[in-house]
Amino acid sequence: TEYLLARTVYTNTTQMSIEKEETLIFEIKRNINQKNQKYTDKILFLDNMHTEQYSLCEVLHMTEAKMIQCAIDEGFAAAAIVDTKQIVFDPSFRPYCEENLCGQYGANYSCPPDCGSPEEMKQRILAHKKALVLQTIWQVADYSDVPAIKHAKKSHNASEIRVVKKMREAGHDGLIVGASGCALCTPCAQTQGLPCNFPDLKYSCMSAYCIFVKKLADKCDMEYDCGDGLLAFFGMYVFD
């Protein structure tokens, strides 16, 4: 088409020598061939992408089974994936945070009131489609043994962060919900009026989100009350 159009224009508007016309035709054909080569390259690229689509997804994304296995490999007693719309929230839990038994109320970016209202926290969870629910079970002889419980929660959260990092490397961005308020910095930078040092890894606990953990555990077929001398902790990673 380009060749015919160019020839018509030049033939009708000017008298050109045979040699000049042949040169023009050569240039037009070369341009057409270059364009055709570009189209061919694009088609080959798309064909290759189609052929390698499955293998590419395998590399960039974990299956749900792999996510659960990753959690088990990191030492979690149980792991399950649920839709976030199945998670039950109860804003009446917020007053328990306000009692400040943990000492973090108003002193930690991940805890109330700084973390947000119950409704704001709920919407952060619902902004994602899936939740990888994680459970650890600990032998605790005395439930009033604060150091032992803090150690268990810290270990749970450390394992959870390792799982999260692997999921993020596989392309699954999301939000961390810990077994306790964030303890990445002691004290939290909030107490000094400084910005959070780890905004991507900061985590609030289930209570701060007003999640009904017992119902979530039941949904995941996990034990909530494990019996005498045993204590279960829960966290999760919500993602798309």
* Residue 45 or residue 116, greater confidence: 116
Note the pLDDT tens digit of each residue in 104-154: 999 999 999 999 999 999 999 999 999 999 999 999 989 889 999 999 999
Provide the sign of the torsion angle of the four alpha carbons 159, 150, 110, 183, taken in this order: negative
pLDDT digits (tens, 9 = 90+) for 181-200: 999 999 999 999 999 999 99
Q: What is the largest CA-CA distance in the chain?
A: 104
Contact partners, residue 201, CB within 8 Å, separation at least 6: 161, 164, 176, 184
Residue 145 near residue 231, CB atoms below 8 Å: no
User: What are φ and ψ of residue 238, in 5° steps?
Assistant: -100, 140
User: Which tops the pLDDT comparison, 60 or 51?
Assistant: 60
Tokens of 225: 């009350």
Terminal Cα-to-Cα distance of the chain (whole angstroms): 48
pTM, two decimals, is: 0.74
